[in-house]
Amino acid sequence: MVKVTIDGIEIEIPKGTTVIQAAEQAGIEIPRYCYHPGLSIVGVCRICLVEIERMPKLQVACYTPATEGMVVHTNTEQVLEARQAVMEFLLVNHPLDCPVCDQAGECWLQNFYMQHALHDSRMFENKVKKSKALQIGPNVMLDSERCILCSRCVRFCDEISKSNELGIFNRGDRAELQPYPGTELDNDYSGNTIDICPVGALTDRDFRFRTRVWYLSETESICPGCSTGCNINVHHNDQRTYKAGGSRVSRLKPRYNPDVNEWWMCDAGRYGFTHVDADSRILAPTRSIGEEQEMSWGEAASEIMTKLREVISVHGKESVGVILSPQMTNEDLFVARRFFRDGLGLKHIDFEVAPLTTGAKDDFLIKADKNPNTAGARLLGVGARQGSGMTVAEMLEAARKRKLRALYICHHDLANGFAVDVVEEALTAQDLVVFQGPNTNSTSALAHYVLPAAAFVEKTGSFTNYAERVQMIHTAVTPLGESKADWQIFRSLAKEAAISVPYFEAEDVFQALTAEVEAFSGLPYAGLAGQGIALRDGQALPESETVVA
């Protein structure tokens, strides 16, 4: 450890910490453009110049290691002058087209100009012309004139995605960021370049011009796109959906978690939220026997329970199959377990459906298991592999043979895991098929009752990622139509069956879960927010070979 003093604040930091990091620990933010903690350090933007006693010149805080006894000043006249000078230089060739720039509102040229510069323009000359509005990849637009050549995106492509798509060509103020001619910025992580671009040079094709960022709210969540569980912020816009084509969720952004995704997320996850506001959303409980008819939750619960009891009384408890989903939260699954297994005494409960085509994976963030909560479902023991009931495949076979008479299916599109005719034969042979999920699919089309479940951005709960880290999602937007969280749906049904589900909030469910399920025992609810908690405290787990749809 070394002791340094920054703006009069003495702090102790590990050897090798840079001045910019040390300052952060002392609660002092030194402006930066090129510096990014996840990338190599190049020291090119020069905005982080600070004064270090006994050094003749200003030093860049991003590169300079803090050493024992170092005394740093980040706010002297000399530093402020240099900072303003760098700001002025950065704006010499910058187009200042903020009114039409999508970055406005989250632009670090704007922010630092307001915080550190506020100079009057002395620039009379013409600016250097470069290429504008270039679509450089499926997700990214480039405006070279706005680019301040911080090289963050180049370093990202070299060091993180290791795909080398971007380069800086030419030199001096003619230097220009470009992909290699004839190629695109097209890798599984390309969206991150937009996040780390401090200015409006790289903007998001999906997001641009849809809303001004100051209309957005942020809610912490977890990407449901695979079992990694990348920490994200959901950027949503409840009040002005008419400006964004009716979509309430505008974009997902990665949220720093050193143990999971650091600063990054994959494009599949980033752009995989459109189902949340899609036309396929189920808006009300619906009866699909004969003519399709919307119902109230009361009617639906009562009718479904009546039919389910009928099946059970005629054919026995072993004639009902329940297919849960690893898309559901720990809380959803726990209440499902309480209701179906403990309350109704059903035996055939499973959640794993192996997909027909194995999901893509890499050795970075992308897992083949495209579900956020497979590990949670396993730990909660709601799979056939954890119990003694039928697997989903066995259920469908039994259903076809009418050994099963009722199927309760959550979220799954079974066509992803089985041939269409297998699913069709099985489901059409049933006396009762209930489908519950946020969106319609080929399975819901075969159900007698379709129940609207809240999407992941509409509820609070927790997922357990592949490494058994329990992480929270939070309600960002109100559930669409009549939809509600899966566990709340089970609670409605349980009420009809006079089974006690005494929970009002997700937190209540979680408390019961930790009290009852060994693997989660002692987990503090309050500690889950933010970075989540690893059940095995960082012990590495062998990645499961099983892949579920």
Partner 1 sequence: MAGKIISKFFDIDGGNTIDVYERHGGYQSIRRVLKKMAPGQVTDEVLKSNLRGLGGAGFPAGRKWSFIPKDSPKPKFLVVNADESEPGTFKDRYIMDRYTHGLFEGIMIASYAIGANKAFIYIRGEYVRQAENLVEQIKCAYDRGYLGKRIFGTNFNLDLVVHRGAGAYICGEETALLESLEGKKGWPRMKPPFPAIEGAFKCPTIVNNVETIAYVPTILQEGGEWFSELGSERNGGLKLYGVSGHVKKPGVYELPMGTSLREIIYEHAGGLQDGRKLKAVVPGGSSAPVLTADEIDVKMDYDSLAKIGSMLGSAGVIVMDDTTDIVRALYVVTRFYHHESCGQCTPCREGTGWAERILKRILDGNGRSVDIDNLLNIAGNIMGNTICPLGDAAALPLKSYLTKFRADFEAAVSDRNGVGKVADEPVSLLN
Partner 2 sequence: MSKVAFSQESLSEFERIVAQYPERRAAMLPTLYLAEKEFGHISPEVEVYVGELLQVPAIKVREVLTFYTLFASKPRGKLHFQVCRGISCDLRGCTKIIEHLQEKLNLNSEETSADLAYTLSEVECLGACETAPMMQLNDDYHGDLTTETVDLILDEKK
Given the rule CB under 8 A, which residues bind partner 2? Answer: 164-171, 179-182
Contacts 24+ apart (CB under 8 A), 19-23: 19/50, 19/52, 19/59, 19/61, 19/62, 19/64, 19/65, 19/66, 19/70, 19/72, 20/48, 20/61, 20/62, 21/66, 22/66, 22/72, 23/50, 23/61, 23/72, 23/74
Nearer to partner 1, 126 or 388 (CB): 126
Of residues 125, 279, 518, 545, which one binds partner 1 by CB under 8 A? 125
Answer with the entry of partner 1, partner 2, none that 126 interacts with (C-beta below 5 to 8 A by kind). Answer: partner 1
Nearer to partner 2, 165 or 486 (CB): 165
Nearer to partner 1, 120 or 545 (CB): 120
Of residues 4, 19, 45, 282, which one binds partner 1 by CB under 8 A? 45
Between CA 443 and CA 450, with CA 448 as vertex, the angle to 5 degrees is 65
End-to-end CA distance of the chain: 48
- What's the closest the beta carbon of residue 154 comes to partner 2, in angstroms? 9
Q: Tell me if 54 contacts partner 1 by CB under 8 A.
A: no
Q: Which of 274, 160, 259 is nearest to 225 (CA)?
A: 274
Q: Tell me if 157 contacts partner 1 by CB under 8 A.
A: no
Answer with the entry of partner 2, partner 1, none that 180 interacts with (C-beta below 5 to 8 A by kind). Answer: partner 2
Using the rule CB under 8 A, give the single segment among 163-171, 310-318, 383-391, 476-484 that binds partner 1.
163-171
Residue list 64-123, contact with partner 1 (CB under 8 A): 81-82, 85-86, 88-90, 92-93, 120-123
Answer with the entry of partner 2, partner 1, none that 278 interacts with (C-beta below 5 to 8 A by kind). Answer: none
Q: Which of 21, 33, 20 is nearest to 197 (CA)?
A: 33
Of residues 173, 342, 362, 505, which one binds partner 1 by CB under 8 A? 173
State the DSSP string of 173-191.
Answer: GG-EEEEPTT----STTTH
Class of residue 292 by CB neighbours under 10 A (exposed 0-12, middle 13-18, buried 19+): exposed
- What's the closest the beta carbon of residue 86 comes to partner 1, in angstroms? 6
- What's the closest the beta carbon of residue 136 comes to partner 2, in angstroms? 12
From residue 309, alpha-carbon distances to 98, 221, 269, 312, 495 in Å are 63, 38, 40, 5, 14
Give the CA-trace dihedral at 214, 193, 93, 100, to 10 degrees: -30
- What's the closest the beta carbon of residue 326 comes to partner 1, in angstroms? 47
Answer with the entry of partner 1, partner 2, none that 166 interacts with (C-beta below 5 to 8 A by kind). Answer: partner 2
Residues 6 or more apart in contact with residue 145 via CB below 8 angstroms: 93, 94, 95, 127, 128, 129, 130, 131, 132
Of residues 2, 9, 104, 175, which one binds partner 1 by CB under 8 A? 175
Q: Which residue has the tokens 């991003």?
A: 62
Of residues 2, 128, 213, 393, which one binds partner 1 by CB under 8 A? 128
Segment holding 154, helix H or strand E: helix 152-155
State the DSSP string of 492-549.
Answer: HHHHHTT-----SSHHHHHHHHHHH-GGGTT--GGGTTTT-EETTTT---PPPS----
Answer with the entry of partner 2, partner 1, none that 206 interacts with (C-beta below 5 to 8 A by kind). Answer: none
Answer with the entry of partner 2, partner 1, none that 384 interacts with (C-beta below 5 to 8 A by kind). Answer: none
* Phi, psi dihedral angles at 65 (to 5 degrees): -75, 140
* DSSP code, position 388: S
Q: Name residue 28's amino acid.
A: I
Give the CA-trace dihedral at 99, 105, 108, 112, to 10 degrees: 90
Answer with the entry of partner 2, partner 1, none that 354 interacts with (C-beta below 5 to 8 A by kind). Answer: none
Q: Tell me if 2 contacts partner 1 by CB under 8 A.
A: no
Nearer to partner 1, 179 or 225 (CB): 179
Nearer to partner 1, 60 or 407 (CB): 60
Q: Tell me if 529 contacts partner 1 by CB under 8 A.
A: no
Q: Which residue has the tokens 């600070």?
A: 50
Answer with the entry of partner 1, partner 2, none that 229 interacts with (C-beta below 5 to 8 A by kind). Answer: none
- What's the closest the beta carbon of residue 42 comes to partner 1, in angstroms? 7
Nearer to partner 2, 183 or 302 (CB): 183
Nearer to partner 2, 175 or 497 (CB): 175
Nearer to partner 1, 4 or 62 (CB): 62
Binding site for partner 1 (CB under 8 A): 41-47, 49, 57-58, 60, 63, 81-82, 85-86, 88-90, 92-93, 120-126, 128, 148-149, 168, 170-175
